[in-house]
Amino acid sequence: MLLVMDVGNTNTVIGVYQDDHILSDWRIRTEKEATVDEFGILLRNLFQSQNLTLEPGTDLIISCVVPPMNNTLEGFAQRYLKVRPLWVGPGIKTGMPIHYDNPREVGADRIVNAVAAYEQVHGSVVVVDFGTATTFDVVSRQGEYLGGVIAPGVMISCEALFIKASKLPRVEIFAKPKSIIAKDTISSMNAGIIYGYVGLVDGIVSRIKEALGDRPKVIATGGLACLIASETKSIDTVDDYLTLKGLKIIYDRNRPRREERGKGGVA
């Protein structure tokens, strides 16, 4: 059994694979202050809720953009799984050349998404990930990571409106607006956020296509992907499991090296 984990600034996405079949998956809030045992108990409860067992020897691959969580995750793996996790980072075999001025600056989740997207289309592709930040990652026809764009995330923009505009309430984005011409404050904010991000996505993807000189497939993922993608003209498909698939692909590409070194991490 394989445990795959993507730790983001807001949410942590977790999946469990048996061979190539995903048995279960969860999206939980990232708790930067969680202890090793708190994290272990949470994972054990999640497993039990799906009639699964968190067993020693279960392998683990992690992509993480929250450095304060690294020690907790390492401790969890060693105490509860009796393994050292495979970390997505410098030195790991991704199968994808990284054409970035400093490849170490690229978030692990962005590389994982790019690997999974290219594996699906085997051609040029743009990944739009609606996370804490909204990121756009570009992969060439030859499977090279070319770079991308980082914009503020949807919920960051909502929170900024609430904090900086004294009379505006905090809003939660769950459904698309009834009309672009809203009749109350919350609906007006909802329309501004949703259609503002629709315009942002379509505008950026259009410029990427122009710069690339190609017609890449556009895949969206992340918590609000379905809501925004349904209103855009540029997004071709939504894949909620893209990051989990990418982690499984990268794990498989590193398995021979990992087996040679027993249960140690990959340099």
pLDDT digits (tens, 9 = 90+) for 39-54: 999 999 999 999 999 9
- CA 170 – CA 136 distance, rounded (Å): 27
Query: Mean pLDDT throughout 220-229?
Result: 91
Give the pTM. Answer: 0.90
- CA 159 – CA 172 distance, rounded (Å): 10
Question: Which of 4-18, 172-186, 249-263 is predicted with the least confidence, judged by mean pLDDT?
Answer: 249-263
Predicted confidence at residue 267, as pLDDT, reads: 33
Q: Who contacts 233 (Cβ-Cβ below 8 Å, separation ≥6)?
A: 202
- Alpha carbon 251 to chain centroid, angstroms: 16
Q: Is 263 exposed, middle or buried (0-12, 13-18, 19+ CB in 10 A)?
A: middle
Cα end-to-end span (Å), the chain? 22
- CA 172 – CA 258 distance, rounded (Å): 43
Topology at the third CATH level for domain 103-242:
Nucleotidyltransferase; domain 5 (3.30.420)
Q: Does domain 2-87 have CATH number 3.40.720.10?
A: no
Q: In CATH terms, are 2-87 and 103-242 the same topology?
A: yes
Q: Judge whether residue 94 has pLDDT over 70.
A: yes
Task: Answer for the pair 22, 46: CB distance below 8 angstroms, yes or no.
Answer: no
Active-site pick, 6, 59, 109, 129: 109
Pairing of strands 217-222, 86-87: unpaired
Question: Domain-by-domain residue ranges, the chain?
Answer: 2-87, 103-242
For 86-134, what is the HEC assignment?
Answer: EECCCCCCCCCCECCCCHHHCCHHHHHHHHHHHHHHCCCEEEEEECCEE
Annotation marks residue 109 as catalytic: yes
- CA 189 – CA 177 distance, rounded (Å): 9
